[in-house]
């Protein structure tokens, strides 16, 4: 039980910070567009990476730095494009009550974006595969219980964020709130893209 609690606590602390992935999940939750699919894809991706780390694949990532380099520059490019789209949305769309009046992005495209936010982010590899993987060795022979705790934390966080976002719906009935959110997301994306490029 102590290994599970430790894994849950550490896993939760690593994903609490507002990042590109969390901002996307929050936005989808506010719009109520494919919320479960987005939350599930993000959490499942984390689960796969955490499992790989606990199974010992963190050393592989460290031995092949090209994986991190690809994720770094690919992620920076993706985040920059998404930031520009957010800025365009903030300043050009009317932002009527989006949960009812705006067209919904297709499920396939939405899932693709969610996957990109996860797999093109080198910080995800460092947090899940390397960090959680290395810490799990301290809980031998219960390292998989530690990993299970981290996986549960990921599912708990993303589902809470996605479905809890609707509590903010009254605030986002105002078009100005959506404009501020889109602009804020754009700033976050650009800041993270910059940090990826500059190391």
Which residue in this structure is represented by tokens 């520059």? 73
What pLDDT is stored for residue 99 in this prediction? Answer: 45
User: 130 is in which domain, residue-wise?
Assistant: 2-198
Long-range contacts of 162-171 (CB under 8 A, 24+ apart): 162/25, 162/26, 162/28, 162/29, 162/35, 162/36, 162/38, 162/39, 163/29, 163/35, 163/39, 164/29, 165/25, 165/26, 165/28, 165/29, 165/30, 166/29, 166/30, 166/32, 168/30, 169/30, 169/99
What pLDDT is stored for residue 191 in this prediction? Answer: 84
Per-residue pLDDT for the chain (199 aa), expressed as one digit of tens each? 788 998 898 888 778 766 778 888 988 998 889 999 999 999 999 999 999 888 876 566 667 767 667 767 877 787 788 788 878 877 876 555 444 445 567 899 999 999 988 888 777 877 788 778 777 877 778 888 999 999 999 999 999 999 998 888 787 777 788 788 778 878 887 887 787 788 6
Smallest CA-to-CA distance from 95 within 33, 178, 23, 170 is with: 178
The total number of structural domains that make up the chain:
1
What pLDDT is stored for residue 199 in this prediction? Answer: 64
């Amino acid at each position: 039980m102590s290994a599970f609690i430790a894994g849950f606590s550490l896993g939760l602390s690593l994903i609490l910070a507002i990042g590109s992935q969390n901002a996307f999940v929050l936005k989808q939750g506010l719009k109520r567009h494919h919320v479960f699919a987005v939350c599930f894809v993000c959490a499942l991706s984390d689960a796969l990476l955490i499992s790989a780390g606990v199974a010992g694949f963190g050393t592989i990532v460290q031995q092949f730095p090209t994986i991190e380099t690809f994720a770094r520059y690919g992620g920076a490019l993706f985040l920059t494009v998404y930031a520009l789209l957010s800025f365009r949305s903030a300043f050009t769309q009317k932002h009527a009550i989006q949960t009812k009046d705006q067209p919904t992005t297709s499920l396939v495209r939405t899932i693709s974006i969610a996957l990109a936010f996860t797999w093109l982010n080198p910080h995800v590899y460092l947090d899940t595969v390397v960090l959680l993987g290395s810490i799990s060795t301290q809980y031998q022979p219960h390292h998989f219980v530690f990993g299970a705790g981290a996986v549960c934390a990921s599912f708990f966080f993303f589902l809470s964020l996605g479905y809890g976002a609707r509590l903010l719906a009254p605030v986002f009935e105002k078009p100005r709130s959506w404009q501020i959110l889109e602009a804020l997301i754009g700033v976050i994306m650009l800041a993270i893209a910059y940090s990826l490029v500059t190391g």
